[in-house]
Each structure stands twice: as structure tokens, then as C-alpha cells.
Amino acid sequence: MKERTIFTVIILSLVLITVGYLVATQVDFSWLLPAQASSRAVLVDRLFRVMMGIAAVIFLIVEGALVYAVLRFRRKPGDDREGLPVHGNNTLEIVWTLIPAVIVAVIGIYSYRVLTDVERKPSDPLVVRVIGQQFAWSFEYPDSGVKSSVLHLPVDHPVQFQIESRDVIHSFWVPAFRVKHDATPGQIDELVLTPTEIGTFPVRCAELCGVGHAAMTTEVKVESQEDFQAWIDSGGTLVSSATTAAGSGTDNSAATASAPELLVQFGCGACHSLSAASLAGIVGPALDGIGTWGADRVEGQDAQTYIRNSIVEPNAYVEKGYAPGVMPQDFSTRISQEQLDVLVSYLASQ
């Protein structure tokens, strides 16, 4: 009887180990995880798979024991006797305490190794400042002086992000990179990774930061080294038409974005509404009809001048009922003259 029990335990252990291994290595989690687009994502996903394999084994053990207990020790029809008093089993209690402790220790050690690997500083990284502000992201490239509302990165080149906030706590989240890092007022945090897939991926704020939080979105464009350098050389005025999905290849053509694209690129929809561009922000004034009522706001300014000044000097005139200092103050350096002309002409036509 004892030999049979030992044999059963061995067989069940082998089955459980096999199931855990298959879950960790063979199950397709693409339906659950976003695209894998950085060196960091590879390591994080590998840790995720290991934890899913371990979780699958624990689930089978717990649920299997529960089903066995229900079937083996259920009250039989007509049996009204009281249950036998059970005072515990010291060996069993030691086992079910030690096994979870070992599992937690193994996961902790492996997680620490992954953490040290993803935070290892590379040599000669591209430095990018990530700035969060209610309710938009902006990115600055100190080596070239380029500023942008869309994050551009070269593929297979290490990047060092310097993350900060100008007002409240935000959270810089790029699901495809497996990156989620707080942007905290008054301090600069560093984050390193290497993009590995050409494509366009979403950037979100993962920290509730105010009424415009849901619209605090932009995107990261991972490009070939040549396309990225061309974008830098243009001063950030080119909008690549390459890649709308991971691994879709590279199109070396580039063009100035249309006005609705620019409104999205610079995060205008986080605060403003405009029916023609499907913007629905509620933090700032609605832009519908601005080509008409804009001419009545400041004496001596026509609608186009008012719109232009409102973009590059937002505190020069603030609409009644709205607070100054909310709109980013650096659009004069982030928007090229050509982009500004496109925006002003488009808004003046509304």
C-alpha cells in the first residue's frame, strides 16, 4: 500500500511538472500580451511565462485536492453521524508551509535577476527626456535640441529615458516595451531599454492625473537608424508614414502631417473638443467655430492671429472661466513654422 502511494505521488508530480513546463513554454499568450518590441519585453515576458507555469501547477494541486476531498469525504445518504475530530497533521503543515516558501524564494531570486538585467545601463545610449504634464506627453532630445509630442526611437539602439513631471504624478506606460514608470514632480527618474521592432506603439498615462487623464495618449515610432536620423536632421518636423503595426516594415517616405494628425500628435484632444477632428476634451475651450469667434477676443487681432498667439503664447490671453498655465508653454519650440501654419489655417476654417 505504501509503495502504491509513493508511485502515485511520483506519477502525479511528473504530470504536474509536465503541465507547468508546457504552460511556460508552449502556450500562446499573444491574445493576452501586447506586441513584444524591446529587449526589456523579452525578459519580462519570460518571467511572466515562468510564473504562469508555476501558477498552473498550484491551481491544479489546490483544485485537485478540493475535488478529491469533496468526492472522498462527502456525507453519504443516510449517514447522520458527526464528523471525526481531526487535530491536524504536523508533517502536512510543515510541507505546505515550506513548499510555498521555496516557490516564493525562487520567484523572488529570478525576478531580481530580471530586474538587474533590464536596469543595467548600456554604453552610449540615446538620451530622451520624457515630460508629463496635464494632459500631454512631450519628448526632448538633448543631443540635438529636438522636441516632439510623438516619441521617435531608432531600432536596436539603447535608449536612456529621463522621466519627469511638471505638475502632478503621471505614469509613463508603453505596453509593447513592458515599461510603466512614474513621472514624479521635482525629481528625474532614469529608465533604460533597447527597441527591437520597427513599428508604431501606443503610449499611455497609467496614473489618474485629472479630468483629462483618459486622453493623455500619444505614440512611439520605432524606425530604422536612417529614418530616425532623417527625422532628427529635420528638427522633428517630418512625420514618418512608415509602420503602423509591429514588424510591418519601413517606408522611407516622410511628409508633413495633416492638421487633424497634428492635433492628435500634439495632444490637443486631451483638453479641447473639435467635432471636425473628433476631439472631445473638456479641460480647455471648445474649438468649434474658432474661425469666427476668434476674431472677437482680442482687439486688433483677426482669427488667425488670435489662434497663432493662443498656441505659441497661451497665457497672453486666457478664455474666461479657464485657468492660466494649464496649456503647455513650449509649443513655440516644439511646433515647426510649417506645422504651425497648417494648424492655424485649419482652425481658422472651422
In the predicted model, what is the mean pLDDT of the chain? 85
Cell numbers found for residue 42: 523579452
Q: Give the chain's largest Cα–Cα span.
A: 100
Residue 184, number of CB atoms within 10 A of its CB:
17
Percent of the chain clearing pLDDT 90 (strictly above): 36
229 and 187 in contact (C-beta within 8 Å)?
A: no
254 and 240 in contact (C-beta within 8 Å)?
A: yes
How confident is the model over 194-208, as pLDDT tens digits? 999 999 999 999 999
How confident is the model over 21-74, as pLDDT tens digits? 888 888 888 788 888 899 999 999 999 999 999 999 999 988 988 998 888 888
**Residue 326 and residue 320: Cα distance in Å, rounded?**
14
Mean predicted confidence (pLDDT) in 121-150 = 89
Domains of the chain, start order: 2-72+89-118 (no CATH), 126-255 (2.60.40.420), 268-348 (1.10.760.10)
Burial class (CB in 10 A: 0-12, 13-18, 19+), 148: buried
199 and 222 in contact (C-beta within 8 Å)?
A: yes
Cell numbers found for residue 13: 508530480
Q: What is the CA radius of gyration of the chain?
A: 28
Q: Is 161 helix (H, G, I), strand (E, B) or coil?
A: strand
With left for phi above 0 and alpha for psi between -120 and 50, is residue 153 left, alpha or beta?
beta
Which among 265, 261, 284 has a CA at the least distance from the CA of 134? Answer: 284
- Give residue 222's pLDDT: 94
How confident is the model over 146-190, as pLDDT tens digits? 888 889 999 999 999 999 998 899 999 999 999 899 999 999 999
Label the pairing between strands 151-154 and 217-223.
Answer: parallel
Mean predicted confidence (pLDDT) in 123-142 = 90
Q: H/E element holding 48?
A: helix 39-72
| Most confident of the following: 6-15, 53-62, 236-245 | 53-62
CA distances from 283 to 153, 261, 279, 286, 346 (A): 30, 20, 12, 9, 21
Confidence of residue 248 (pLDDT cuts 50, 70, 90): very low
Which among 80, 81, 22 has a CA at the least distance from the CA of 54? Answer: 22
Cell numbers found for residue 91: 508533517
Higher pLDDT, 244 or 28: 28
For the whole prediction, is pTM greater than 0.75? Answer: no
Answer yes or no: is pLDDT of 250 > 60: no
306 and 294 in contact (C-beta within 8 Å)?
A: yes
Burial class (CB in 10 A: 0-12, 13-18, 19+), 304: middle
Among the ranges given (71-75, 183-187, 319-323, 329-333), the one the predictor scored with the smallest mean pLDDT? 329-333
**Residue 197 and residue 171: Cα distance in Å, rounded?**
23
Answer yes or no: is pLDDT of 80 > 90: no
**Residue 64 and residue 119: Cα distance in Å, rounded?**
40
How confident is the model over 276-286, as pLDDT tens digits? 888 888 788 99
